[in-house]
Structure 1
Amino acid sequence: MTHRLAAYNFGIFTQRAEHSANEGWRQRHDPLMELVETAPGFIARSGYEGEPGPKSWGKQSVPRFTK
């Protein structure tokens, strides 16, 4: 069996992205992505436009949730 892995990671912040309330997410993001990239079946991941790291695959889309 061939394994294939796609991962989509996003955060829905209650404050601006750079706010200290989001520090935990920022601290976990890169180590988590490093684990994903070493998983069996990993193909690639998209980066974020204008940020260092992998090239963006296009316009970012964030799921919307209803309460």
Structure 2
Amino acid sequence: MGVRPGRRPGRRWTYDRLRQPCAELATHTVTDTAGASLTACTVHTAEAEQQITRATVTPLPHG
């Protein structure tokens, strides 16, 4: 995925934070321009939108 480095001083990571396990309920699918996608909670979705250039975010249906 097209991950951009952190934009604020002190907010840089040496690993892919988007692929870390999360205990929160998945609420969205985030897809990059190459078609790679991941499911994420609300907080990780917001983080992905900031880091992935032209990300497409799709809410997951919850019944």
Q: TM-score, with normalisation over the residues of structure 1?
A: 0.31
User: Comparing both structures, which one devotes a greater share of its residues to helix?
Assistant: 1
Whichever of the two has the greater Rg, that structure is: 1
User: Comparing both structures, which one devotes a greater share of its residues to strand?
Assistant: 2
Higher normalized contact order (CA 8 Å, seq sep 6+, divided by chain length):
2
